[in-house]
Amino acid sequence: MIIVWTTGRHPEAALHGTPQDFHHLATLLRRGTGTLPLDPTYQAPHHDITGATATVRTADTPLVRVTVHEVALTFTGPQHHLDTLAEIVEASAEPVETDSGIPYHHHVEHSTYADLLTEDTIPLSLFSATPDGRPRPA
């Protein structure tokens, strides 16, 4: 799986992967614990950082918080919300073709999931799975 993000004024993390990558991340979210090694070699043209790990931690908090620190993306929150996030991630495991030429992706951020994510969560763009896990050119 490849996760890249931008920092600064409009931070965002973009998740790309194979169907198996998305299933693996969803499994970790459902378990509430674990670390997923990422492909840190990918050079993203519009992102500052390529992640090396994605970590999931269950916590006694009201909402899920998704953070980035150096080369790690971390999901922390209550199990019932991590389960909901797992369902959203699982949906990205299915490849989706579009006629527009823009790769299909789903935005997961506080403004649309205020009952699930903290306000300071880094917004996520979950891109439809690809056979090789690499981003499709737009």
Q: Looking at residue 44, what is its pLDDT?
A: 77
Residue-wise pLDDT tens for the chain (138 aa)? Answer: 888 888 777 889 999 999 999 999 999 999 999 999 998 888 877 788 889 999 999 999 999 999 999 999 999 999 999 999 999 999 888 877 766 666 677 889 998 889 999 999 999 989 888 888 888 765
Q: Looking at residue 7, what is its pLDDT?
A: 78
Specify the pTM: 0.91
Give residues with Cβ within 8 angstroms of 32, minimum separation 6: 56, 57, 58, 79, 82
In whole angstroms, give the CA distance from residue 107 to residue 105.
7
Alpha helices in the chain (DSSP H): 19-31, 79-91
In whole angstroms, give the CA distance from residue 101 to residue 49.
25
Tens-place pLDDT, residues 61-98: 999 999 999 999 999 999 999 999 999 999 888 877 76
